[in-house]
Amino acid sequence: MTFLEFFLEQLETEAITTRKMLSLVPTDKFDWKPHEKSMAMKTLAVHVAELPTWITMVLNTDELDFAKNEYKQPPIQNTEELMAYFEKCLIDGRESLKKGNEATLDKPWTLRNGEQIYDASPKRNVIRMSISQIIHHRAQLGVYLRLLNIPIPGSYGPSADEMNF
């Protein structure tokens, strides 16, 4: 199995739980956040949904410089639009992995903000990190949902809600 095949398998596996979690985000709680330093639920959910596109970015570029690329969150208005956006981003990441060139995975990719370098790693490591970011931020979203008393799905087995604890 190649790295690209492995990453595709991982993306597809994580998409199952990610889809379940995103589908639970209530539109009427888009502005809610558990702490003043936390992202609003909509901001976090949209970030989870868009993360598969980071795979495409890594495969097709050599860096992301936040100083040169202003982030604009897409105008998601409700849970249905959030789900459609996730599916679009998932297709993007999936197709990029299918078309990717294994030989490019050892090339460096840099995450920076102007002169400040946050990370410079081989592309394969950054793709792995992108999938890990999906998992990490999805877990944060699960905490948000839990704090709102919304039953959450299990990720790698049943959740406490599914076990009737």
Q: What is the CATH number of the domain that holds 26?
A: 1.20.120.450
**Burial zone of 48 (CB within 10 Å; 0-12 exposed, 13-18 middle, 19+ buried):** buried
Rg of the chain in Å (alpha carbons):
17
Give me the pLDDT at residue 163, please. 85
| pLDDT value of residue 165 | 58
Residue 164 above 80 pLDDT? no
Range of the domain at 97: 3-163
Report field, pTM of the whole predicted structure over 0.85: yes
Q: Taking 90 as the threshold, does the pLDDT of residue 47 lie above it?
A: yes
Query: How large is the average pLDDT for residues 150-165?
Result: 88
pLDDT of 56-66, one tens digit each?
Answer: 999 999 999 99
Contact between 141 and 153 under an 8 Å Cβ cutoff? The reply is no
Beta-bridge partners for 109? 121
- The tally of domains found in the chain comes to 1
Band (81; pLDDT cuts 50, 70, 90): very high
pLDDT digits (tens, 9 = 90+) for 118-132: 999 999 999 999 999
94-107 pLDDT, tens digit each: 999 999 999 999 99
Q: Residue 70 and residue 91: Cα distance in Å, rounded?
A: 24
Kindly tell me if the per-residue pLDDT of 112 is higher than 80: yes
- Exposure pattern of 106-126 as b/e (b: 16+ CB <10 Å)? eeebebbeeeeeeeeeebbbb
Could you write out the DSSP letters of every residue in 15-47?
HHHHHHHHHT--GGGTT--SSTTSPPHHHHHHH
Compute the distance between CA of residue 10 and CA of residue 95 in angstroms, rounded to an integer. 14
